Amino acid sequence: MERTLVLVKPDALQRGLVGEIVARFERKGLKLAGMKLMNLTDATLDEHYSHLKDKPFFPGLKSFMRTTPVVALCLEGVEAVEAVRGLCGVTNARRAAPGTIRGDMGMSNQCNLVHASDSLETAQAEVKRFFRDDELLSYASASDHTVYADDERK
Ligand code: IDP
Ligand code: MG
């Protein structure tokens, strides 16, 4: 099973969309391995968005991400990284496909409701960035055997 990181961003908190967003991941069949409300520090954001540090929107992005706490989720599933990115939609919410979180709920390039890890390698680093080992839980769920066929669960 893969694990991937999602951050429910401050615009979603302010708009009361946390439940709706978490529900979409649950409904898909992804399993919650970790979930917490947290304030992001400047240092964490510098690291998390280091690939964007030279972009003109970087300072605005960092300040947006600190307007309220975010909800960090660690989601588990077969090919979870790709499945979660698909549910989120493309970065610019105005262009995101209907049916995706960004496509259904957003109109902004910056305030696009969610962050999701973009590769397995990134996901491993990002889950570590936001969760301690003892905050990630493995447990049997009644749906484990209905979400997947036996030969798909690894
Ligand atoms: P992603 O979140 O879809 O992976 P990235 O390119 O990694 O997109 O950008 C990280 C975040 O930076 C985006 O989710 C969005 O909040 C913000 N962002 C990206 N491009 C722009 C832009 O052109 N203007 C303003 N904010 C942007
Ligand atoms: Mg990204």
- Note down pLDDT in tens along the chain; length 154 residues: 999 999 999 999 999 999 999 999 999 999 999 999 999 999 999 999 999 999 999 999 999 999 999 999 999 999 999 999 999 999 999 999 999 999 999 999 999 999 999 999 999 999 999 999 999 999 999 888 999 999 998 7
Nearest ligand, measured from the Cα of 49: 1
Q: Which atom of ligand 1 is nearest to the CA of 111?
A: 16
Q: Please name the helix (run of DSSP H) or strand (run of DSSP E) that holds residue 66, with its range, or none.
A: none
Nearest ligand, measured from the Cα of 60: 1
73 neighbors 35 (Cβ within 8 angstroms):
yes
Q: Which atom of ligand 1 is nearest to the CA of 115?
A: 2
CATH 3.40.1710.10 fits 2-148, yes or no: no
Write out the two tokens for 54: 């030279």
> Would the pTM count as exceeding 0.85?
yes
Measured from the CB, is residue 35 less than 6 Å from ligand 1?
A: no
User: What per-residue confidence (pLDDT) applies to 73?
Assistant: 99
User: What per-residue confidence (pLDDT) applies to 126?
Assistant: 98
Among this protein's residues, is 115 annotated catalytic?
yes
In order of 37, 50, 74, 125, the CA distances from 13 in angstroms are: 10, 24, 17, 24
Long-range contacts of 103-109 (CB under 8 A, 24+ apart): 105/12, 105/15, 105/17, 105/20, 105/21, 106/11, 108/11
Measured from the CB, is residue 117 less than 6 Å from ligand 1?
A: no
Long-range contacts of 51-60 (CB under 8 A, 24+ apart): 57/110, 60/110
Q: Which atom of ligand 1 is nearest to the CA of 9?
A: 16
Ligand 2 centre from 151 Cα, in Å?
31
